[in-house]
Structure 1
Amino acid sequence: MESEEEFALSPQLLLSAYAAGVFPMAEHRDDPEVFWVDPRRRGIIPLEGFHASRSLARRMRRAGYRVSLDTDFTGVLDACADRPDTWISAEIRAQYIALHRLGHAHSLEVRTEDGALAGGVYGVTLGAAFFGESMFSRVRDGSKLALAHLVDHLRRCGFVLFDAQFITAHLASLGAIEITRADYRMRLAAALNKEAEITALPLCDDPQSVVQRMTQTS
């Protein structure tokens, strides 16, 4: 019989789970148990099909914000969990911080001009796949700005899959689509057979350039 320790949540188990197409959740922040999710219908954000509305493009052109990569992973993680109901339990939080220290979990931060954290997104990288976990906004369009800059960066760094887990109206408005489990598994296998590195290029902090590239590929 396997021991409990062999089934304990760990960075290695998490990476194996992502490679198999499943991801962890908890019922609530105080739940010590973790369950695995394998949706029949999967949400993805096509890296060549991100849709920036006219209002979002105008917001980006006005600038007035700063973006960064991995400057405050814990801050983004905690901001994502800062809501009445969250699946980010203490155990899940600890394991994603461990994944970040190992170089497999990353955050993109959006800050106001005075440096306050305004929005962000975090997720896990494996091969040429990015597994989006959660995002947040403290100002209007904060998470949309984070996703726009993240999609641009992933595309420039050679990623081919952005897993969004579940479709929401918010994500659908940005170009996210829903695919079958079988289709997802095929795309995942292809992404895991490729190599990409999120730190291969510096994050582009020029919103004008990001908007121009999005216009050319959408």
Structure 2
Amino acid sequence: MEMTQRGHVLDDSWYLDYAAGTLGTEAQDVMMASHVELSDEARGRVAALEMLGGAMLDASDSGEAPLGFSVEDILRRAGDEPDAAVTAAAPVAAAPDADDSLCLPQALQDYLARTGTPVRWGFLGPGMRKAILWRGEHGERLWLLRARPGVAIPHHGHNGSELTLVLKGSFWDGDQEYRPGDVEEAHPGVEHDIRIGEGGECICLALTEGKLKFESPVLRAFQVFTGL
């Protein structure tokens, strides 16, 4: 059964946890802050959930009955108030080895500068490079993918969840195109082929749990060197 989120935004639970500050890891915070920074729709969802949460608190404090509107109602209202989303944090010092061509969102730049994490590119495959930014205790990784136009990422599956946020360029998963600010979510059981768009180089921020699953023995052996 396919469990890929076939859209350019995530399930509302992600935005609710982000707005409430209850995401599980710093890497998830960075991923979501970058997504919200780049996506108008994501900012609208966060603003809607914050408005809904505030209204629910007001109703609770006043002893009124539960509110009679949904997140979708608030989303429509938030669309008229684009500045209602959380204001981005003030910029900090430049990240180590900063490269303006990467088009990194400010949230990610701030994280790299605060933690002193350099962006060090390593070979991933023909026309592709990767830079590991963070490793978790249970095989999680936050990393950057940099790929040339037209490159195809071989058919693969997933041992854990994967969030992929487009920072620059585009990629295709089947007949769905993902552009800057769009995020795709995949879970165990998903198998797909990714193709980089022809319009220019593509840079993505990915948060993965466990290693990818390849059918080819050659690619599985190659994972020893890529770490993915």
TM-score (norm 2): 0.29
Structure with greater helix percent = 1
The structure number with the bigger radius of gyration is 2
TM-score (norm 1): 0.30
